C-alpha cells in the first residue's frame, strides 16, 4: 500500500522509506516512480536476503580491523582485490534458480570467501536469473539468458580469498562450451 505524507508529497513505499526513483524521459522531462511502481516492493515480493540482519561488529568481537585494509601484495603489485569478468557460452541450467543458488554457495566456499547472503530474482517468461552473493570480501553476481545459453558473472574478492577457484565451479555447474575470463586488479596502488 502506498502512503502519502503532507499535501504535495510523493507517495512512499513501506519498507523503502523515502525511496523514489527519477527517470529522465526523452532527455528533457523527469518522471518520478515509487519503488512499488517499478516492481521493487519488498512487502509484496519478500527477499530471502531480508531473513537475517547482520550487525557489525558481532557481539564479543573486540579485535579492531582499523589498520587491516585487506589489500593484497602479489608479483610486486599492491591492490584491493581481483575482479573477474566471466562469460559462459553454450551453458546449461541457467534457468534453475536453486541450482544457481547452490552453485554460488559452492563457488564462495571453494574460493575461501565469507558468504553474508544471496539474493536471486527469476525472470519470466524466459527464465533468466539475476542475483548476487554478497561476501565479506565483496561479491559474486550472475545474470543469465537461458534462451541464448549465456551467462555473465563477475567475481570480486579482496584479502586472502582465491576468486579464480570459482571458475571451475561454474564450469562444472553450467557445462559451458566456452568460458571467457577477464581480470582487473581493483585499487592497484603500485609496487610495494
Residues serving a catalytic function are 138, 143, 158
Domain assignments of the chain as residue spans, ordered by start: 1-45, 72-186
Q: How far apart are the first and last CA of the chain?
A: 56
- Helix, strand and coil in the chain, % to nearest 5: 20, 40, 45
Residue 192's Cβ-count burial label (10 Å; 0-12, 13-18, 19+) is exposed
Q: From CA 131, how far away is CA 97, in angstroms rounded?
A: 10
| Per-residue pLDDT tens over the stretch 44-55 | 444 444 434 444
**Amino acid 49: pLDDT:** 44
124-174 pLDDT, tens digit each: 999 999 999 999 999 999 999 999 999 999 999 999 899 999 999 999 999
Q: For the domain made up of 72-186, give the CATH fold.
A: 3.60.90
Please tell me which residue, 7 or 127, carries the higher pLDDT value: 127
What per-residue confidence (pLDDT) applies to 16?
41
Q: What is the mean predicted confidence (pLDDT) over 54-79?
A: 63
Residue 98 has pLDDT above 60, yes or no: yes
Contact indicator for 134, 140 with CB cutoff of 8 Å: no
Amino acid at each position: 500500500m502506498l502512503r502519502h505524507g503532507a499535501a504535495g508529497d510523493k507517495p512512499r513505499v513501506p519498507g523503502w522509506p523515502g525511496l523514489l526513483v527519477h527517470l529522465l524521459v526523452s532527455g528533457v522531462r523527469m518522471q518520478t516512480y515509487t519503488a512499488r511502481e517499478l516492481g521493487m516492493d519488498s512487502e509484496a515480493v519478500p527477499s530471502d536476503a531480508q531473513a537475517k540482519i547482520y550487525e557489525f561488529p558481532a557481539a564479543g568481537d573486540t579485535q579492531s580491523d582499523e589498520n587491516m585494509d585487506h589489500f593484497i601484495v602479489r608479483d610486486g603489485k599492491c591492490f584491493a582485490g581481483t575482479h573477474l569478468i566471466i562469460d559462459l557460452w553454450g551453458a546449461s541450467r541457467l534457468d534453475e534458480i536453486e541450482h544457481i543458488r547452490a552453485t554460488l554457495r559452492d563457488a564462495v566456499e571453494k574460493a575461501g570467501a565469507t558468504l553474508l547472503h544471496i539474493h536471486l530474482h527469476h525472470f519470466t517468461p524466459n527464465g533468466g536469473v539475476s542475483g548476487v552473493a554478497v561476501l565479506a570480501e565483496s561479491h559474486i553476481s550472475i545474470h543469465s539468458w537461458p534462451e541464448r545459453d549465456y551467462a555473465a558473472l563477475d567475481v570480486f574478492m579482496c584479502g586472502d580469498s582465491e576468486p579464480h577457484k570459482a571458475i571451475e565451479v561454474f564450469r562444472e555447474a553450467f557445462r559451458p562450451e566456452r568460458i571467457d575470463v577477464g581480470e582487473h586488479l581493483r585499487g592497484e596502488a603500485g609496487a610495494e
